[in-house]
Amino acid sequence: MSAVAFVLFYIGLILRFAYANSAENFNVARIIMAYDLEIWWLRSMSFIVVVPFLGPHLVAIGKMLKDLTFFMFIIAIVMIAYGVTSRSMAYYPNPELNGYDINFDGRGIFRQIIYPVYYFMYGNMGNETTYLDGYPDEGWSIATHVLLAFHMLFVNILLINLLIAMFSKRFDQVYDDTKTIWHYQSYLFTREYFDRPPFFPPISLFYNLYYLGRLFYSWVRRLRSKKSVDSHAKVFSKCLFLFN
């Protein structure tokens, strides 16, 4: 996360002072710097891992994120399935009725298919049911209502509650071993800053090159000393053979 934060910072800095000759380029630099600031705030949470009653909770959050990643794929597939199917039945063939002309490009698919369906999980239906209720006798409206009912049942009731149950189980596992986890996280945190260069990027690049040179020099010395020891050992073995 630190590497990503540093990369975004320098990209935003370069764009801000070198290419911000228009409002659009300036907005790009501002967006990158804003995301970078968000990452740095999240990165600052690593400093509380040494607190005994807060560190294990961060570990639990990290493990929950792994569980959430699996569910994100399932939920994304279900949302895209409903979004494409419902729009193909209710919106795409009837642009003159709803003024909802779908453009099948990247931005249009995100705005008109994925983005509205995503907020169904939070109970925000938007104009979805309002538009369908305006044509109660149409076959496409009835079919979309049925599809929406199954979609809400599967996502909002089944998947969300299953995810909450997995979160609860994961938290209980971490809570049962709180002390061991805290000691381990404290060690990792200390070790991270022990191995980290004393300078920040890009100045740390010179320190890394210096450290790499020292490693190479030590490797060469060790290799030469090993050859010297091997040659002495061979001479000694020959002398023993002659005397015997």
The domain ranges of the chain are 54-181
Residue 161 and residue 214: Cα distance in Å, rounded? 55
- Could you list the pLDDT tens digit for every one of the 244 residues in the chain? 677 887 888 888 888 777 767 777 778 888 888 888 888 888 877 777 777 777 777 777 777 888 888 888 888 888 888 888 888 787 765 655 555 556 666 677 777 778 888 888 887 777 777 777 777 777 877 888 888 888 888 888 888 888 888 888 887 877 777 677 777 777 777 777 776 766 666 666 677 777 788 788 888 888 777 655 455 444 444 444 444 4
CA distances from 175 to 48, 75, 183 (A): 17, 28, 14
The string of pLDDT tens digits covering residues 32-86 is 888 888 888 888 777 777 777 777 777 777 778 888 888 888 888 888 888 888 8
Residue 239 and residue 221: Cα distance in Å, rounded? 27
| CB distance 118 to 79 below 8 Å | yes
| N- to C-terminal Cα separation, the chain | 66
Residue 32 and residue 12: Cα distance in Å, rounded? 6
Task: Go through the chain and tell me how many residues it has.
Answer: 244
